């Protein structure tokens, strides 16, 4: 009997410059996909024109964390605290997101990945949360609680409406387009998750589930992505 083929999940790599350019991805992302039953494939930041051809070979995508978004493309002056991602990564990730919007592949955006999902769909970004005007702002570079909307796809996946998350970011999503529905916030009001407004599996989370592999919520989130990807085969 032939074994059912595992869904192939692409994970975009980060780009770093140290003399030569190189692609980097923490193995936590790879291991999370593998434990969930998927086959992880690392995506280098190649030619943006190749993004569609790459997506044609995948069943789902994880958009990983990384540096900060360059908002100057929209005429916005950069905050002094910004630490930009490499421009090659930003252009490639933007092309990936355009292709994902066309193809409707199951997608999980994590931290920067979530922010890029929002930004490329017409949303707005807080460049530095401590200066964003939130009262009683939490330390978003540390663990904290997240409250999830009870009628959301995310709550159904996680099996809870309140969960402790591992977080490490200073930027955040300020607003989303009509393509998404905000489904989770931290106690200070910062947006922590959104999901597609339709039935597709397209979810962005501001925290880092891959950094908490023992959490049942982490296992459920990656398992849901892989299951949605398997459904496309």
Catalytic residue list: 111, 208, 210
Residues facing residue 110 across a β-bridge: 205
CA neighbours within 13 Å on the CB side: how many for 30?
Answer: 8
The CA angle 101-105-108, to the nearest 5 degrees, is 95
Contact assessment for residue 96 and residue 51, using Cβ atoms and an 8 Å cutoff: yes
Residues facing residue 61 across a β-bridge: 10, 107
CB under 8 Å to 75, separation ≥6 — which residues?
A: none
Contact assessment for residue 229 and residue 60, using Cβ atoms and an 8 Å cutoff: yes
107 burial class (0-12, 13-18, 19+ CB within 10 angstroms)?
A: buried
Instruction: Quickly count helices (H) and strands (E) in the chain.
Output: 6, 13
3-state secondary structure 156-199: HHHCCCEEEECCCCCCEEEECCCCEEEEEEECCCCEEEEEECCC
Residues facing residue 182 across a β-bridge: 194
Q: Are strands 124-126 and 172-175 parallel, antiparallel or unpaired?
A: antiparallel
């Amino acid at each position: 009997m032939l074994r059912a083929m595992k869904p192939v999940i692409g994970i975009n790599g980060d780009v770093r410059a140290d003399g030569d350019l190189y692609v980097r991805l923490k193995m936590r992302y790879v291991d999370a996909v593998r434990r969930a039953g998927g086959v992880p494939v690392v995506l280098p930041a190649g030619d943006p024109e190749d993004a569609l051809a790459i997506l044609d070979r995948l069943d789902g995508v994880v958009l990983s964390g990384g540096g900060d978004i360059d908002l100057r493309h929209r005429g916005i002056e950069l905050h002094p605290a910004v630490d930009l991602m490499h421009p090659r990564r930003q252009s490639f990730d933007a092309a990936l997101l355009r292709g994902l919007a066309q193809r409707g592949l199951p997608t999980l955006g994590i931290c920067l990945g979530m922010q890029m999902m929002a930004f490329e769909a017409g949303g707005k970004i807080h460049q530095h949360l401590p200066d964003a005007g939130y009262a009683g702002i939490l330390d978003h570079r540390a663990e904290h609680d997240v409250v999830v909307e009870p009628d959301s796809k995310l709550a159904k996946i996680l099996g809870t409406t309140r969960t402790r998350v591992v977080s490490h970011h200073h930027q955040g999503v300020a607003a989303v387009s009509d393509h998404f529905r905000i489904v989770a916030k931290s106690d200070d009001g910062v947006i922590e998750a959104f999901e597609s407004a339709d039935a597709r599996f397209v979810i962005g989370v501001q925290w880092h589930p891959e950094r908490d592999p023992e959490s049942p919520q982490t296992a459920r989130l990656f398992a849901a992505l892989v299951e949605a990807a398997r459904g496309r085969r």
